[in-house]
Amino acid sequence: MFPGRLAELPPAMFAMLANLLDPVKPGATPIALSVGDPRGAVPDFVREAIAKTAHQFGEYPAINGTQEWRNAAGGWIKRRFKLPDTAFDAERNILPLNGTREGLFLAAFIVTPQTKAGQRPAILIPNPFYQCYAAAALAAGAEPIFVPARAETGFLPDFAALPKSVLERTVAAYVCSPGNPEGACAGENYWRSLFELADAHDFTVFADECYADIYFGEEPVSALPARFAISGNFERLLTFHSLSKRSCLPGLRSGIVAGDAKLIERFRAFRNYAGPQVPMPIMAASAAAWRDDSHVAVNRAMYAERMAMAERLLGNRAGFRKPDGGFFLWMDVGDGEETALKLWRQGGIRVLPGAYMGRETEAGKPQSNPGFRYIRVALVHELSTIEATLGRMGEILSEGRA
């Protein structure tokens, strides 16, 4: 599909899903549980901030964002991750993004040299994964190394198990916590081991924490305090945060990259060449959203209610697992593609086969894809729709079973 470095990218996962399902007649009025589109009400303070500053669409914004934005976003980082005032400086440790996807993609360029240890640089990617990571690695000239995140490793990638020959040419590792698609959260020990590995082999950790505020038990441990506890700084770390999930504002396209001051400085320089600035009214709305935690608590409670409903309806099925965070079910159904087809044909229910987010670990063996056995189910609709759809889904999944 793409030329050059990107030639090895498969078609986008929703294009694969359309290929699978569109030729088949849905068994009922279609309902999409395939897309992670948060669909919340837009808070009034967001509308007001944009209306008040709309005249500033007439100006080029600064790549650093406004002082108001830095105070608000930096304030959230310190408050949310309990960092001492002296540890984190919004002037040096943070930049605004047009959503985290943009930052997750561009970050690969600032850490990838021509060669490392005399070889092609490698970027480590959990498998399955948010598809942007692979595009970023390839575009930056690195080899993506897909590292399985299966049940046996707590649905997180075990990077330390990689051969030394890979680790010595590694320039970065993406980690997603809470994870999309599995919803697993990295704990303190996971972060500590990862930073030890990153320090030993001199690579950067890209911590994608865009689901950090959607959790069902304890607050997930963030990479920022975990790194700070080890070294008293954020060396070899960039973290990515988003309003898309926290505030149900995916259309605002507003995110944060935060971490090591030297990396942020390099990122700023690179973004001055190639990064899209964030429009001033979006920055004003974003600042208002980062300042406020009450709407986030409401969103979190809403997702917890949906997850409790899912547990009630599907929890006694083999293959159901309650995630630690995020808003996806990652269900082991034996064959994700076959099940997605069945749910569509019999119930008009659109879910994503897990394999579409993963890669085969042995070429030509579909079952070696760590996502093969799974479907991903997004709980983004209102409760009554989720109740009706998951109820129906449970019935369809039970059909044909002893």
Which long-range CB contacts under 8 A does 305-314 form with residues at least 24 apart? Answer: 305/383, 306/379, 306/383, 306/386, 307/216, 307/379, 309/383, 309/386, 309/387, 309/390, 310/377, 310/379, 310/386, 310/390, 313/387, 313/390, 313/391, 313/393, 313/394, 314/390, 314/393, 314/394, 314/397
List, in order, residues 6 or more apart from 97 with CB less than 8 Å away.
103, 240, 254, 255, 256, 257, 278
**Shorter beta-carbon distance to ligand PLP: residue 146 or 167:** 146
Q: Which residues bind ligand PLP (CB under 6 A)?
A: 36, 99-101, 104, 130, 176, 180, 208, 210, 242, 244, 250, 255
Smallest gap, in angstroms, from Cβ of residue 36 to ligand PLP? 5
**Shorter beta-carbon distance to ligand PLP: residue 248 or 393:** 248
- How far apart are alpha carbons 340 and 189 in whole angstroms? 36
**Shorter beta-carbon distance to ligand PLP: residue 36 or 148:** 36
- How far apart are alpha carbons 221 and 157 in whole angstroms? 16
**Shorter beta-carbon distance to ligand PLP: residue 101 or 116:** 101
Smallest gap, in angstroms, from Cβ of residue 119 to ligand PLP? 28
Residues 390/310, Cβ–Cβ less than 8 Å: yes
Smallest gap, in angstroms, from Cβ of residue 394 to ligand PLP? 25
Smallest gap, in angstroms, from Cβ of residue 41 to ligand PLP? 17
User: What is the number of the residue whose Cβ is closest to ligand PLP?
Assistant: 99
* Alpha helices (H) along 292-401: 294-314, 336-347, 383-398
Smallest gap, in angstroms, from Cβ of residue 53 to ligand PLP? 21
- How far apart are alpha carbons 239 and 321 in whole angstroms? 27
Nearest to 366 by CA among 90, 104, 31, 16: 16
Smallest gap, in angstroms, from Cβ of residue 176 to ligand PLP? 5
Smallest gap, in angstroms, from Cβ of residue 86 to ligand PLP? 29
**Shorter beta-carbon distance to ligand PLP: residue 313 or 356:** 356
**Shorter beta-carbon distance to ligand PLP: residue 213 or 235:** 213
**Shorter beta-carbon distance to ligand PLP: residue 167 or 194:** 194
